[in-house]
Each structure stands twice: as C-alpha cells, then as structure tokens.
Amino acid sequence: MTQLTICAVQHDIVWEDPLANFAQIEKLLTASQNSANLIILPEFFAVGFSPLMAGLADTASGTTLEWMKRLASIQGAVVAGSVPVLTAKGVVNRFYWVNKEGKTAWYDKLHLFSIGGENQHLVRGYSRTRIETDGWKFMPQVCYDLRFPVFARNEYNNGVYAYDVLIYTANWPASRTHHWRSLLIARAIENQCFVIGVNRTGTDGTGLIHQGNTMVIDFMGNILKEAIGIHPQTVEAVLDYESLDGWRKRFLVAEDWDKISLPGWNDFNLTC
C-alpha cells in the first residue's frame, strides 16, 4: 500500500464516562464519512486524564477494547488510542492498535507524567513498539513521550529504516501548545518520517483547558493537515510512501545518525 489514509479524531472527552465518549466518537466518524485505513483517538479517550485513572482501568479484555474491536470492524479500518489497563504488573497507559479483524497490538507508555501524578497511579512500560502493516512501519507513543527525542530516535541499517510514521496520542494542555507544535515538527524532521499528533480538546474534570491542535506532518516538517479551531472534529490526510522514500534517498541524513543504545523493539505485524 503506497498511500495510507488516516483519520485523527479530536474530541472533547466526557469526564469518566466511557459510554458517552464512545457515542461521541461514533457521531464524529459518521459525520465525517471518512474512508480511512487508520483511525486514531486521543490519550485516555474513554475517560479523560482523571486522578482516578487506576480505578477506571479496563482489564486486558475489557469494555473499551471490545468497543474498539467493534468500531474497527464497522469502519473497516485500524482503530488506535490509549486506555488505562489493569495488567499483571499493575495499571498501564496502553496504546491499543486494533485492526478490522480484531487483532491487537499495543505499547505501554514509558514516560509517565510525574508532574501530573501519573507515576503515582500507573506503572511504566519498558520497551518500544513497532507495528508493521501493508508495507508501513509505525511507532506509537503517548503524550509526555513527545518530550524525549532519544526514545523516538529512528534507526537506519543497510537501507532499512526502523519506522515510517510516529504517532502521538495526547491530552496536551493549551498552556503548552507551542511546545506541542514545535516538538511534533522536530520529531518529523529529525527522524525523516511522518508524524501524527492527536490531541483532545475542551476543559477536563480538573479545569485544565485543551485546544486540540491535532496535526499531520510530513517528513520535511510541513503540516499536511491541522484541526481548524478548538471544536471536536476529524482531521483526515493521505500519507504517500513514495514521497517519503524519495526524500530519504535524496537527503540521506540517516547515514550520519549518531549510533546510540536504545530499548529493544516489541514487534507486531498486522494488516490494516
């Protein structure tokens, strides 16, 4: 698949109410009449970034994952987003990737937002995740991970890149919008990849304001699509692999990337 159509859902998360959020997301997707291969939802799209996140956690086969599977089947697309999940090691902030057949991949957020107390309620992940599908390779990350460029570092070996698309799903506050925009663009340029940043909008249950700024950025740092205004909406864009490959070949920075030690990959190979 040389072209990939993505749909990023920017919505105003209803505080601690999964069923209301499922309905809102379905309404936005119905209105958009999208034909996406990949639908991406914000961090904690079902409950919000609540101090009660551990108590709101799903089990590994819980209600939110089952809803994601149903939505993926109905839409005929991958559905992705992060969910608090109770595992054997404790509650994690888990980025789920669910394809239309119901097959699942995941990444557990490594950088917990200690400033906001996330580390007091959740346990961190320890590896990077790479998901390969239809010739594309994705690296999913969650919110605060955006501030750690070494963790996101792409790799290049014998003409092969570790990934083609970085995905950030977030609850990023309006007060730090400049950081959000600047860091997303930087990750795209330095890693020669597409970057998708999906953020919530609206005011959460603690009074924190979010203004969305959901963005799709190409490998040169150009903004392909961006949310218009702060209202709930979908942002749709087409990623073209041939354009990415052409730029990488013309401007082979990867040959000179620093050689650094990074956590290993947790690899998944799933079709869209």
Q: Which residues carry out catalysis?
A: 43, 109, 143
Q: What single-letter DSSP state applies at residue 263?
A: P
Residue 32 β-bridge partners: none
3-class SS of residue 32: helix
Side-chain half-sphere exposure of 78, counting CA atoms within 13 A: 25
Q: Residue 60 carries which side chain, given as an amino acid letter?
A: A
224-229 contact pairs (CB < 8 A, 24+) = 227/10, 227/201
C-beta of residue 214 within 8 angstroms of C-beta of residue 227: yes
Residue 258 burial by CB count (10 A; 0-12/13-18/19+): exposed, middle or buried?
exposed
Helix/strand/coil (H, E, C) string of 3-22? Answer: EEEEEEEECECCCCCHHHHH
Is residue 265 a contact partner of residue 172, using CB atoms and an 8 Å limit? no
